[in-house]
Structure 1
Amino acid sequence: MADEDYDAIVIGTSQGGRFLPAELAKAGRKVALVERGRLGGVCVNTGCTPTKTMVASARLAHQARRGAEYGVRIGPVSVDLAAVRERKRAMVAGARQNYASRLAQDGLDLIEGEAHFTGPKTVEIALTEGGTRQISAPVVVIDAGTRPRPLAITGADEVPLLDSTSIMELDEVPEHLIVVGGGYIGLEFGQMFRRFGSEVTIVQSAARLMTIEDEDVSDEVAAIMRDDGIAVLTSSRPVRVERGDGGHLRLTVRTEDGERQLEGTHLLSAIGRVPNTEALTPEAAGIRLDDRGFIEVDEYLETSVPGVYAMGDIKGGPAFTHLSYDDYRILHANLIEHGKASTRDRIVPYTMFIDPPLGRAGMTEREARAQGRAIRVAKLPMSAVIRAIETGETRGFMKAVVDADSGQILGCAVLGSEGGEIMSMIQVAMLGKLAHTAMADAIFAHPLLAEGLNSLFAMFDDHEVVSE
């Protein structure tokens, strides 16, 4: 028997959990919100807020070193990583405080502790302050997120390893940072610490970086990394790590040409994330997981147990804060407004905050071809965009994929200055189901980066239909 009954239980406080329990309470529900760690989840504490704060510091250092290119004389540039860290901590503290203020709602009980299921709608909580408490509700929402995947190679337990959380707590710039993983996390941190002053080597097991992107995108990103002085090793699988001379670490990787040893002072594991499902004992509730341990949900975010829902990263799929927030909107519509909102056909945009950033929305060229669509593809180098030339930010390109029959935009990749912002303009056109001609003929203010969209979409007049 539960110690107390509620109308709804929300487990975890990430972006979705920030809003849903408060809105349920406003609607007159008695709500229990359970959190085992810090309020705000990954985004506030170890993800978006802190990393993008540090990315901003790294970009400023990079731009300062480029001063002579713009006729600006600047002395030697150095980075005080402890000060960067303190700025990051202040940003996180402010974001967490804003989060906490939203939870001050009548009918909302914040319970600090780790939850696990004892039945389909019953949860036992190991309280942070000691003891246990058992609660139940007809509606349960799981928003417990993910954590960094551990590096499972020989010697990994015997040397100091960094992950995406601990690396942000360093107070000195590493002499040589080796990054294992060529995805978004590894690339953002790799470029960041290169700009802070570290020698950086990125080790990727696959044949190219960012394998979910089109090959031309990942090739251009690799070229940008190398242009920044980063060593990028692909088709290089880590097999063991050990202590080297002088406190260094020695990483052995297996390549197509045999084994190779890399020496560095610090090693960052950025090989992905795993769901926080084990401690929840979902099997006690009958909640079905996929083969990677993520919670399976339908298009309404309901699990295999009626009345139990999952939102955010723990349900698998793209792991983005804005997607978690859209999950909240769906559950708000369905649980409070009695609607029938769904995840079906939603366009999921995202941005990788390297410099220049990569903004992506909709289908990649590869995905469209795999579906057998008749498509047209256009690509415009940023070196052809007047604003990019004027600001000295000409690396990258804009790319669009359109349906050959309807002319509607299926997807885009903008790897360039303000790539995420420009991508968002294309996303709006996609939401409005505009044909590519609308973008080609639109009047954009001069001289903005958006003007490049005129040139990009006008290129379709010169392209033949490509289908496979």
Structure 2
Amino acid sequence: MPTSYDVLIIGSGQAGNPLAVALAEAGRKVVLVEENHLGGSCINYGCSPTKALLASAERAHQLRTAADYGIAATEPQVDFRAVIARKDAIIKKSRAGVRSNLTQEHEGITVLHGHAAFTGPRAVRVALAGGETEELRVPLVFINTGTRAAVPELAGLQDVPYLTTTELLDLQELPEHLLILGGGYIGLEFGQMFRRFGSRVTIIESNKNLLEHEDADVCQAMQELLEAEGIEFVLGAEAHHVSRNAEGVLTLSARTKAGERRLRGTHLLVATGRVPNSDKLGLDTIGVKTDEKGYIQVNSRLETAAKGVYALGDVHGGPQFTHISYDDYRVVRDGIVHRKWRSAKQRPLPYTVFTDPQLGRIGLSEDQAREQGIDYRVATMPVRTIGRARETGRTLGFWKVLVDGQDRVLGAAILGPEGGEIMMMFQLVMMGKLKYPQLRNMVIAHPTWAEGLNNVFTKLQKPNG
């Protein structure tokens, strides 16, 4: 006989875990099924491990550049195994915290390790990790299965030992020359990280610019600051073949406007996007619809086409960020527990690219404002003009802010030190519907990065053209 629960959550990610707790505290009997490690992508192969490694890479960079601050510089001796071990210790502690929160601190939650798939309406079969199966009967299901690395159709790829970000995080030896296929935020973060550890790095991108959703001036500035650290870029490149010789050297062949390029390296990271983990859930048995890429289609309440079945986080497409997944949890929690629904389709999208310096983004880019026919003015300011930048020697990058005809902020791109934190200031301004003169005239403590809020709007002008 099937085991009955009130709620099933498939996937232990940033939406599923807090939802399990909230619904259990509301008196529901909850079962959570996880096929891999508890904690989802953020804890296991996303935010936490990459930021831990970036912190180590930043320390190495500080040693190299210490002479700029009057301190004897030294070439860091990177113990890469120790770097990975530090990352692993952080992840292990995070996983333990998730398990404790779900299984020890909250009653009413059962955790099963295995693969869940629908066998019919309200019916789910779980293939447990030990080889047994368990049949579940449940009226309310939340799919939170996330995504996995997309593998492009590239001749020869299946015949070489390529890496996705998951495998790269577990390397025990530092690559001599890392080829990165993909110039999005993942490729840039890993590229700078491994360059600072001491690897030679080449990033290959099919578009003419990095970061396809950003304005050209932002992409150009990002490229220049990474090139200054020794990263090589090959843009507008159509990769068509990869091979490996007897000595273990990889050769990636790409077509460019300048002709054929053959790029050689010791390791290849494929960072060309993600695909949803929706293909083995038995969605067709209950009528859940997906788009052409496999992302589950949902409405503004995150409901699928099947009654009582919701999709949360990256598996339903759209911006793939931990904070968006967490907000998915809040949308359904408030709707189901408190009967206060709001739309998951209309919300701000802040995000940060954790290069050094960071890129913090909120609201409209200039390209988006132009495409939407919005009347706007734009202000740009080099980071080096901020007093704090000169004092700390962190002078790379610039701020870019758009305002509308009512003097309210439309969006901001902050490429500079603490770019993500400063971007959040602009998000608060946008939520509060403050006008830019209020920021320009605000008394701000000196010397802080925030003082740029006083100064950036002095450069406000109509866009060229």
TM-score by length of 1: 0.97
Tell me, what secondary structure is at the counterpart of 1:206?
A: coil
Q: Which amino acid aligns with 1:424?
A: M
Question: 1:129 and 1:407 mapped to 2: Cα distance?
Answer: 61
- Counterpart of 2:90? 91
Question: 1:83 and 1:191 mapped to 2: Cα distance?
Answer: 19
Q: How does 1:29-108 map to 2 (within 5 A)?
A: 29-104=28-103, 105-108=106-109
Pairing 1:143–2:174 present: no
- Counterpart of 2:235? 234
Gapped regions of structure 1 (runs ≥ 5): none
Q: How does 1:282-301 map to 2 (within 5 A)?
A: 282-301=283-302
Pairing 1:117–2:134 present: no
Question: 2:46 and 2:335 mapped to 1: Cα distance?
Answer: 28
Q: Which amino acid aligns with 2:150?
A: R
Structure 1 window deviating more from structure 2 (125-134 vs 192-201): it is 125-134
- Contact 1:375–1:467, Cα closer than 8 Å, also in 2: no
Equivalent residues, number: 463
Q: How does 1:144-293 map to 2 (within 5 A)?
A: 144-244=145-245, 246-293=247-294
- Residue 245 of structure 1 deviates from its aligned partner by 5.5
Compared CA separation, residues 175 and 20, structure 1 to 2 (3 A): same
Tell me, what secondary structure is at the counterpart of 2:169?
A: helix
Identity within the alignment, %:
46
Deviations 1:352-392 (A, max 9, x none): 10110100011111111111110111111101111111111
Question: 1:206 and 1:244 mapped to 2: Cα distance?
Answer: 28
- Residue 63 of structure 1 deviates from its aligned partner by 1.1
Question: 1:148 and 1:344 mapped to 2: Cα distance?
Answer: 25
Question: 1:102 and 1:409 mapped to 2: Cα distance?
Answer: 40
- Contact 1:359–1:419, Cα closer than 8 Å, also in 2: yes
Tell me, what secondary structure is at the counterpart of 2:209?
A: coil
Question: 1:458 and 1:10 mapped to 2: Cα distance?
Answer: 51
Q: Which amino acid aligns with 2:455?
A: S
- Residue 35 of structure 1 deviates from its aligned partner by 0.5
Gapped regions of structure 2 (runs ≥ 5): none
- Contact 2:302–2:310, Cα closer than 8 Å, also in 1: yes
- Contact 1:16–1:324, Cα closer than 8 Å, also in 2: yes
Question: 2:382 and 2:73 mapped to 1: Cα distance?
Answer: 30
Question: 2:137 and 2:436 mapped to 1: Cα distance?
Answer: 52
Pairing 1:359–2:347 present: no
- Residue 106 of structure 1 deviates from its aligned partner by 1.6
Q: Which amino acid aligns with 2:278?
A: T
Question: 2:237 and 2:464 mapped to 1: Cα distance?
Answer: 34
- Residue 120 of structure 1 deviates from its aligned partner by 3.1
- Residue 9 of structure 1 deviates from its aligned partner by 0.7
Tell me, what secondary structure is at the counterpart of 1:165?
A: helix
- Counterpart of 1:408? 408
- Counterpart of 1:7? 6
Question: 2:218 and 2:121 mapped to 1: Cα distance?
Answer: 45
- Contact 2:332–2:341, Cα closer than 8 Å, also in 1: no
Tell me, what secondary structure is at the counterpart of 1:278?
A: coil
- Residue 136 of structure 1 deviates from its aligned partner by 2.3
Deviations 1:403-451 (A, max 9, x none): 12x1111111100000001101111111111111121111111111110
- Contact 2:194–2:201, Cα closer than 8 Å, also in 1: yes
Tell me, what secondary structure is at the counterpart of 2:9?
A: strand
- Counterpart of 1:447? 447
Question: 1:121 and 1:375 mapped to 2: Cα distance?
Answer: 51
Question: 2:327 and 2:182 mapped to 1: Cα distance?
Answer: 28
Question: 1:394 and 1:419 mapped to 2: Cα distance?
Answer: 12
- Residue 402 of structure 1 deviates from its aligned partner by 1.2
Question: 1:243 and 1:140 mapped to 2: Cα distance?
Answer: 46
- Contact 1:80–1:172, Cα closer than 8 Å, also in 2: no
Structure 1 window deviating more from structure 2 (414-423 vs 361-370): it is 361-370
- Residue 306 of structure 1 deviates from its aligned partner by 2.5
Deviations 1:236-268 (A, max 9, x none): 111111113521111101111322101101111
- Contact 1:225–1:232, Cα closer than 8 Å, also in 2: no
Deviations 1:246-301 (A, max 9, x none): 21111101111322101101111000110000111211111110111101111111
TM-score by length of 2: 0.97
- Residue 23 of structure 1 deviates from its aligned partner by 1.1
Question: 2:395 and 2:326 mapped to 1: Cα distance?
Answer: 33
Q: Which amino acid aligns with 2:41?
A: V
Hey, which bits of structure 1, 4+ residues long, moved more than 3 A?
none
Deviations 1:88-134 (A, max 9, x none): 00000111111111102221111111011112322111111112112
Tell me, what secondary structure is at the counterpart of 1:246?
A: coil
- Contact 1:374–1:467, Cα closer than 8 Å, also in 2: no
